[in-house]
Amino acid sequence: MDAQGRGRADDIDPADQWVLNPNTGEYELRLPPSGAQSGVPRPRRGAPSTATRTRSAPGRDRAAPGRDRDVPGRDRDAGTDLPGPRRRRAEPLPGRRRGRTKPPKKSKAKKVLLWTGGTMALVLVAVSGAAYAYLKHLEGNVHTEDVGGSAKDGFSKDEAFNILIIGTDKRTGAGNAGYGDKNSVGHADTNILLHVSKDRTNATAMSIPRDLIVDIPECRSKQDDGTEKIIRPSQNVRFNTSLGQEGRNPGCTMDTVKAVTGITVDHFMMADFNAVKTLTTAVGGVDVCLAKDVNDADSHLKLSAGKHTIEGEQALAFVRTRHSFGNQGDLDRIKVQQQFVGSLMRKMSSSDTLTSPTKLYKLAEAATKALTVDTGIGNVSTLKDMALELKKVPPKNITFTTVPVIDNPAEKVHATVVVNPNTAPAVFEAIKDDVSFTAVKQKEKKEKAAVAARLKGSRSAASDIRVDIYNGGAQAGSAQETLNWLQNDEGVLKSSQLGNADAPLSRTTLEYSPDQADQARKLADLMGLSGSAMKPGKSEKNSQGLPAIVLTLGKDFKGAGVPLTAPTKAPDVEKSTADKTVCAK
């Protein structure tokens, strides 16, 4: 209890009860006798007072060396030699000066801090506890699904990452039973492969049509009882059957994406109809634009031409409609969905959302309840980290595109599509090689500088190249194949094949010391390597104890003699960016 509560506040400023002890350099609380004890004589100077309480930092000695100094006019051996508490003085008469000067403001500020420090500590502890409890609450909202080796275990902030966003047509949730096939097992109705670059300067969101004809590889799906079911492969079927059909889980969809594109998917996020409704409501609606009036009886979308802010049921109708825009097919619906997702991204990251505690609370609740994710990212902390990494990408550098396709030549009445063999491979390679589909000046300059610095200079003769070859993720036998090609076709006779590397690499690398730069440049020419593949500063000794450059064949290796120069510019494809609103036609 403080002094006022104990009846000792008569004309005494509470702040004045904190007095500096010259012997210790610390402020101490000096309580005077209460009114009820006024007849009791005060302790003699030099006798310790039981009412004196010392404040000192935890772990600090009460009598630190060098602090016990003589004070003029006072006895060193007088015990706790403190001045008595100061009483409030009457205001001086006009023209008269006080006998004592006021303490400086800095001193009083320190006293206020001493008074409030304990209270603030309690507040911080309470807030921290509440934040932890709320995070645990959100943790309970997140649905996870174990897809085994189809997904990575965890998430790295230092690498590029690929997330497959799946929108199912499962009619779960209030008010959704009346949409379309109410008995759907939940197919992969909407699919977006989101690639976020390593340097976070750009991202690519590539839509995969639900009616794309593909071969679904064999996959493993965990059942509710914990057992694992092996699901047979399927040929020439729609992509959307990679989920739900025959008990396939999202891991099967991830494996299908890799089989079609060659791109490894790290994680998945899956949402149903409710996600669209709850997320759009949480942010206060999403802005969309229509070039014409729409009245679709199937999706229940009815909007006039122009700009609208939609949420809930209306937002769901907007992304579901496939008879209102373009040729009334799935490919035109994909374009509308991309515009919608871009608008939702802008709204989520807007200052209006980020500065509103109410909207942030609703968004956190809606997002964690709406999504099902793989166990590798199935906690709130990891999901938060992923969101923060994505937030680093400027909206103008988030590109929306679609897998290049052509009409299925096996059909007379075109209802499905197949991958365009002429244009799609370049799109897939650009994503694998972390190439931006937008102009990222900083990255382009960095790459050009690396190429200019590493590839510029003299070349040695092929016969002078001394190289050790490792397989770091290429197909089995690639290192031996490359050795044979270099020795028999290119005259690189001082070459050795040393088996597998310590760890797999996504890209082929060439490591060398500075005095081997001319050999490295010549080998880069032969292999078709870019400057980014060259790693100066390191080499090793071969079996004869002589220095050798190190060639490690990565997953991008396509065969001996096939150039490996990574593209620095993405192919020209139909695309849009997340920073612009386009009116749906």
Q: Which residues of 114-150 are buried (b: 16+ CB within 10 A; e: fewer)?
A: eeeeeeeeeeeeeeeeeeeeeeeebeeebeebbbeeb
Q: What does the radius of gyration of the chain's CA atoms come to, in whole angstroms? A: 36
- pLDDT band (50, 70, 90) for residue 495: very high
Beta bridge partners of 290: 306, 584
Per the CB < 8 A criterion, the answer to whether 365 and 281 are in contact is: no
Q: Which helix (H) or strand (E) holds 552?
A: strand 547-553
What average pLDDT does this structure show over 3-26?
51
CA 217-221-227 angle, 5° bins:
140
- Helix pair angle (357-370, 105-141), 10° resolution: 30
CATH assignment of 444-553, among 3.30.300, 3.40.1350, 3.40.50, 3.30.70: 3.30.70
Beta bridge partners of 550: 468, 511
pLDDT for position 442: 57
pLDDT beyond 70 at 35 = no
- pLDDT band (50, 70, 90) for residue 448: low
Phi-psi region of 518 (alpha: psi -120 to 50; beta: other; left: phi over 0): alpha
Of 15-29, 248-262, 359-373, 515-529, the least confident: 15-29
Q: In this structure, is the dihedral angle defined by the CA atoms of residues 9, 14, 20 and 24, taken in order, positive or negative?
A: positive
Assigned CATH class of 143-437: alpha beta
What average pLDDT does this structure show over 134-161?
87
pLDDT for position 536: 85
Of 82-96, 394-408, 571-585, the least confident: 82-96
DSSP string, 506-533: SS-EEEE-GGGHHHHHHHHHHHT--GGG
Query: Between residues 303 and 439, which one has the greater pLDDT?
Result: 303
Q: Percentage of the chain with pLDDT > 90?
A: 37
pLDDT beyond 80 at 130 = no
What average pLDDT does this structure show over 256-270?
95
pLDDT beyond 70 at 165 = yes
What average pLDDT does this structure show over 130-142?
76
- pLDDT band (50, 70, 90) for residue 1: very low
63: tokens are 């009598």
User: What are the strands, taking DSSP E only, across 336-419?
Assistant: 371-374, 398-402, 405-407, 417-419
Question: SS3 of 354, please?
Answer: helix
Q: In this structure, is the dihedral angle defined by the CA atoms of residues 174, 177, 183 and 186, taken in order, positive or negative?
A: negative
Query: Between residues 352 and 51, which one has the greater pLDDT?
Result: 352
Q: Is the pTM of this model over 0.85?
A: no
Of 38-42, 156-160, 271-275, the least confident: 38-42
Query: Between residues 322 and 376, which one has the greater pLDDT?
Result: 376
pLDDT for position 439: 76
pLDDT for position 25: 55
Q: What is the pLDDT of residues 516-566, one digit of tens each?
A: 999 999 999 898 887 778 888 767 777 677 889 999 999 889 899 888 766
What average pLDDT does this structure show over 161-167?
94
